[in-house]
Amino acid sequence: MELKILWMYHDVMDLYGDKGNIAVLKKRCERRGIAVQIDTCGMGEMADMCAYDLIFMGGGADKEQSLLYQDLIKRKEQVQAALDSGSFILLICGGYQLFGKYYVDAFGNQIEGLGLFPYYTNAAADNKRCIGNVLIEANLDGERVEVIGFENHGGQSEGVTQPFGKVIIGHGNVFHGTYEGFYNGQVLGTYLHGPLLPKNAKLADHILKKALKKRYGEVTLAPLDDTWENKAFAAMKKRLIHAK
């Protein structure tokens, strides 16, 4: 069994340790004897997106998003073809925003998105930002799983009809929001950095199973010893609850 990952814009969209998500997915596969192929694709580079089981795009600041969005727009048909072929897509912060209709930066510039989903992102008034650790209750295809991460975004994403999870502590898609992120079963977009996956082993494995499904159907992953991952999650959750 092999997992093929395409890491989009690895050289510019890697805010707050987003590369750690790739490291976690790779390590959890290797511990199970699953081979991993990781390829990168930067601006102007070519890649057959349909050839990959998992496509990942991290976060970046306004400058990075304004540099790459035209390159991303040119790939809209490729992205749609990858979705049609069964690829799973994981998007963090800026990547999440750019798959919606548009993103308005702190200077009022509107950056066109892929428009694959109905949500859109406007800049917050007075350059305010949603900052801090977040605890949400995610709905992973019917399974309720708590997820912890770190948010730092000025953009306010609205029009999300299929949220990733319900906010327990933190902001989410908007200031003092009720919901966080976007998830439709094949695309997961979230504002959670940190990186996201080291403290969230259940979520990491859920993503792996969704990605492997493209070529292997429903798979059962061998259990791993997640003692340290679970301790990290528990410690952060305790800190958040006490600070609330």
State how far the Cα of 106 lies from the Cα of 126, in Å rounded to an integer. Answer: 9
User: Is position 144 annotated in a ligand binding site?
Assistant: no
- Decide: 16 and 193 in contact? Cβ < 8 Å: yes
93 counts as catalytic: yes
Contact 136, 151 (CB under 8 A): no
pLDDT exceeds 90 at position 218: yes
- Kindly report, residue by residue over 1-46, the tens digit of the pLDDT: 999 999 999 988 877 778 899 999 999 999 999 999 999 999 999 9
CA distances from 197 to 21, 72, 81, 82, 208 (A): 5, 25, 27, 23, 11
Structure tokens at 123: 């800049």
- For the cut 80, the answer to whether the pLDDT of residue 126 exceeds it is no
Cβ neighbours of residue 185 closer than 8 Å, sequence gap 6 or more: 141, 210
pLDDT of the residue at 11: 87
10 as an active site residue: the answer is: no
Grade residue 148 by pLDDT with cuts at 50, 70 and 90. Answer: very high
- The answer, yes or no, to whether residue 239 has pLDDT greater than 70, is yes
Among 93, 153, 171, 206, which one carries the catalytic annotation?
93
pLDDT tens digits, one per residue of 164-196? 999 999 999 999 999 999 999 999 999 998 889
Q: What is the pLDDT of residue 128?
A: 84
The values of phi and psi at residue 225, to 5°, are: -80, 105
Which of 131, 127, 130, 97 has the alpha carbon at shortest distance from 115? Answer: 97
Q: What is the pLDDT of residue 196?
A: 93
Domains and CATH numbers, the chain: 2-243 (3.40.50.880)
Residues 10, 171, 193, 206: which is the catalytic one?
193
